[in-house]
Amino acid sequence: MSVQNGKAIRLSAVRKAWGETESLKGIDLEIPAGKFTAILGPSGCGKSTTLRAIAGLETVTAGTVHIGEDDVTMLPPAQRQLSMVFQNYALFPHLSVAENIVFGLRVERLNKAERDRRLAEVAELLELTPYLDRKPAALSGGQQQRVALGRAVISRRPVCLMDEPLSNLDARLRDEMRREIRQLQRKLGFTMVYVTHDQIEAITMADQVVLMNAGRIEQVASPQELYSAPATPFAARFIGTPPMNLLPAGVFGAGQGAEHLQIGIRPEQLRIAAEGPLKAMVRNAEFLGADTLVELEADGTRLLAKLQGNHSFAHGAPLSFSFEAEDVHLFDTSSQTRVDDAARAASFARGAS
């Protein structure tokens, strides 16, 4: 089965306001054709509104939306050549699986022979062939999700939008469906825009992650870059489990000239060392199986260390930690932006200011 080649999407200076409330505050975004883009962020950040602006379900207050070469800003959803999968699968309970999947093709008045051919392809692809005569109520949550996916991909639209599609599934099914959706997108080649608040979904599925915060874009990057080079303190804290430690320079005894710096180090990159540059006291330790998560305090600042294996520490025990220079992330406290200064990062790793 194949679809049309995916189309690029471009949002330029897009704003959305309801009275005095501004949900999108000037969004400029390029979504590459045929790739998987995840829009990630906390509740209320504007990610679903961005998706709805692409879909035409929200009329933008200002700015433009392009799909491919076409300006679709004023076009209704039906004319934007895209399909959607929502958090609520929106299956018709009185229709069979087969009738749910081909419903859109019936609306388009596609002939029966072509409908049946596409249905057979989609059912085989999503392993739904044995269930085509069943009603949605007779299916598991994962099977219902596959039916919703089938209805989206059978249309062969170049763009597919998904809004929190896995949030109603349990953890095991979410893991399975993440892999299935990613494989489906790669196989069929459409442009995927996927909204989620779950960083694991975003970093395991996407080619590109758009991290949003309070109606603005914090960073657009690959999952690897978002983890290894966060552009802002917000990005640093949002990506990673547990989140990155952000420490004032004073924790390292830094002198004049470093007061404007915030030092970021991920908990998994801290190692116990006899004379490490980071001194802290143990507040709590939590055994996680393969790792131990240690809650610490350094110069009045709380932080975490994720250590491999099983460790036991007394409350208040002093510990020293070392880390590599490349594990140090520097942020300017006034501009809230990343500072790339390899020499300064190395000085913190050595314990000098």
Peptide bond into 242 cis (omega under 30): yes
Q: Give the separation between CA 205 and CA 207, rounded to whole angstroms.
A: 7
Q: Give the separation between CA 177 and CA 349, rounded to whole angstroms.
A: 41
Where is average pLDDT lowest: 17-31, 58-72, 151-165? 151-165
Where is average pLDDT lowest: 20-29, 103-112, 317-326? 103-112
Q: Give the separation between CA 92 and CA 164, rounded to whole angstroms.
A: 20
**Phi/psi at 126 (nearest 5 deg)?**
-100, 10
pLDDT higher at 231 or 173 = 231
Q: Which of 316, 311, 271 is nearest to 291 (CA)?
A: 311
Domains and CATH numbers, the chain: 9-231 (3.40.50.300), 254-350 (2.40.50.140)
Averaged pLDDT, 51-70? 96
pLDDT of the residue at 169: 77
pLDDT of the residue at 109: 87
The pLDDT tens digits for 194-230 are: 999 999 999 999 999 999 999 999 999 999 999 999 9
CA separation, residue 244 to residues 57, 174, 300 (Å): 36, 25, 17
Q: Is the pLDDT of residue 2 over 60?
A: no
pLDDT of the residue at 232: 97
pLDDT of the residue at 140: 86
Mean pLDDT of the chain: 91
Residue type, 39: I
Count CA atoms closer than 13 A to 108's CA, side-chain side: 16
pLDDT of the residue at 262: 94
Q: Give the separation between CA 338 and CA 306, rounded to whole angstroms.
A: 24
Averaged pLDDT, 96-104? 92
Contacts by residues 166-174 (CB-CB < 8 Å, ≥ 24 positions apart): 166/196, 166/198, 166/201, 167/87, 168/87, 168/88, 168/89, 168/141, 169/141, 169/142, 169/145, 170/141, 173/140, 173/141, 173/142, 173/145, 174/201
Q: Which of 161, 196, 153, 143 is nearest to 58 (CA)?
A: 161
Q: Is the pLDDT of residue 31 over 70?
A: yes
Residue 319 · residue 313 · CB < 8 Å: yes
The pLDDT tens digits for 224-249 are: 999 999 999 999 999 999 999 999 98
Q: Is the pLDDT of residue 63 over 80?
A: yes
pLDDT of the residue at 159: 95
The pLDDT tens digits for 267-287 are: 999 999 988 899 999 999 999
Q: Give the separation between CA 201 and CA 187, rounded to whole angstroms.
A: 19
CB burial string 319-329: b at 16+ within 10 A, e below: bebbbeeebbb
pLDDT higher at 140 or 16 = 16
Averaged pLDDT, 67-94? 91
Q: Is the pLDDT of residue 351 over 80?
A: no
Work out the percent of the chain whose per-residue pLDDT is above 70: 97
